[in-house]
Chains A and B, each alone.
Chain A
Amino acid sequence: MKRIGLSVAGGVVGILFFLPLLWVVTNSLRPGSETFANLDPLSWQTFFELRPTLVNYSALVSSEIGRATINSILVSAATVVIGLAVCATAAFGLAAFEFRGRGLVFGVVVLSFLVPFDAIAIPLSTMFRDWHLTNTFTGLVLPGIGNGMAIFLLRQFFLGIPAELVEAGRLDGLGWFGVFRWIYLPLSKPALIGAGLMLFLFQWQAYVWPLLIGTDAQHILGPVALSNLQGQNFTDYGLVFAGAVVLTVIPLVVIAGFQRYFVQSVSSTGLK
């Protein structure tokens, strides 16, 4: 009896959270002119479409949002690749060596992720303007690559790699970069994936920064393009919803593919 009650409560909550997304998906499969047709009164057709059409999705391909989505993919991919290289080498520097000032450097890393990025986005954008980095991919990618949290996460993992392995590698004639490349990296796949996910989501979800720094047609990112469309007098909601679905499904697929590591990276931000 109690279990049935709990199942029903869970089901109601789950469906309530899901309804907005279901409505978005349904309307992305309908011509934009019919978005508001099934709301008065509400019926099952509000949330289901028996004759789905892909017109919105084919319109998306040639629209600004299509282009912006490709930009988002490029910017996020570049951030993950460059960011992982920068963060993993830094984490190696902090984990594998004993040197004076290590505590200080580590302090700077922690301090850097305690300053919320969005709060400093506006002062930083004035600096980027002076450096002529507005409306460049460099300007969009740069803030994502130095991620203190990713360095922290990787360092924790690197600290667990036994010193004997490193010594053995050194005796076999590996240089320090060789130790990093052939011992640390292969042993750290889970941590690298977790950190990579963190870098990816930071860029994919960013809004303040791309709004400040990338607004021309060549450099606009997905969320900014979508919100631009929303503000116009005549809005094709079919297109808006198709764009929203694409911008949600891409990270969803990435998260689902690396689910195990996602939960790890989330729980390690809890600083246990």
Chain B
Amino acid sequence: MRQRQGLIALAFLAPALVCLAVLRIVPAISAVVESFYSESLLRGGRVFAGLGNYTDLLSSKDFRQSVGVTLLFTVLVNPIQVAVSFLLAVLFTQRAAGARLWRTLVILPIATPPAVSAVIWSVIYRPDGLANGVLERLGLPAQPFLTSPGQVLGSLIVLLSWIGVGYWMLFLIAGIQEIPAEVREAALLDGAGPWRRMVSVVLPLVRRPLAFVLVADTVSNLLVFAPVQILTKGGPNGNSNLLMYDVYNRAYAIGDIHVAQAEVVILVALTLAIVAGQFRLLRGDQ
């Protein structure tokens, strides 16, 4: 009976399992396998290269710079986005006039596809664009944004936060709204001020959604591609050459597919390591 059930279940599962295997799992394995091979010009085929592609990468100055830029970007963008999302979630769960409307305006950019947002911001960041118009109105000097090595990462972080903060805020608002009213009232009765209530009551009680947001945000920021490809092409001087763009560039502009696969493996390994580290940290102070 159970065996028969198994066969019927398999029939229902088969199309999805084939899709998941072919479209997700096989390419992941193939990236690992291919990263150990290289194209041989002499013999006209692929030959086993062992760790050759990896040592090539590690000895390349451009690759090391790309890793450095990606780590710097990760360390900056994630705390900023999580903190801003949390503060906005707290702000928009207070009773205040128009809170619903203002919240909707923050969520609105979620609907814009990331590549379209990147195109919009490429016009905003032009020397004669909206950003400099606003600065001038405030009496500040015009800024180069994307063409300055010192400002390019910051400019990308602003654009990515415009895209992402509303999305992460949704999870945190859901978390805050699940805090029982009695807990808030008890804190109020105990005379806790707004700051105290946020740090000692709200923050510990939204740990789970907060941890999820931090991890998911980190993963999505490690895979940032469209803004780099559309706005900066990794420049100026490689200062915005995030790993995901470097992989694409290596695979299609340089045409070195095997080394690109090795870089994919490194990117995924880096992602897993950072996510595992975050999990450990979050569990550590429980």
A residues whose Cβ falls under 8 Å from a Cβ of B: 3-4, 6-7, 9-11, 13-15, 17-21, 23-24, 35-36, 39-42, 46, 85-87, 89-90, 92-94, 96-102, 105, 108-109, 111-113, 115-120, 122-124, 126-127, 142-143, 145-146, 148, 151, 176, 180, 204-208, 211-212, 222-224, 226-227, 230-231, 237, 240-241, 243-244, 247-249, 251-252, 255, 263, 266-267, 269-272
Contacts and interface: CB of A to CB of B under 8 A. Distances in A.
A189 B93 CA distance: 30
A8 B86 CA distance: 18
Contact of B27 (A90, A105, A123, A271): A123
A243 B123 CA distance: 14
A21 B108 CA distance: 9
Interface residues of B, number: 94
30 contacts: A3-B97, A6-B91, A6-B99, A7-B96, A14-B105, A17-B108, A17-B109, A17-B162, A20-B124, A20-B130, A36-B126, A115-B25, A117-B24, A118-B223, A119-B223, A122-B31, A123-B264, A142-B19, A142-B23, A146-B24, A148-B20, A206-B113, A223-B226, A226-B119, A240-B123, A241-B120, A241-B123, A247-B116, A251-B111, A267-B174
Nearest to A43: B137
Contact of B12 (A14, A90, A207, A271): A90
Interface string B229-254: 11000000000000010011001100
A131 B122 CA distance: 36
Contact of B244 (A10, A11, A118): A118
Contact of A111 (B25, B26, B123, B129): B25
Given A118-B225, A270-B174, A97 B23 contact: no
B5 A90 contact: no
B267 A119 contact: yes
Given A90-B17, A151-B16, A11 B24 contact: no
B10 A263 contact: no
Q: Please give me the 4 A-B residue pairs with the lowest Cβ-Cβ distance, nearest first.
A: A146-B19, A14-B102, A93-B12, A90-B16
Contact of B34 (A9, A19, A123, A249): A123
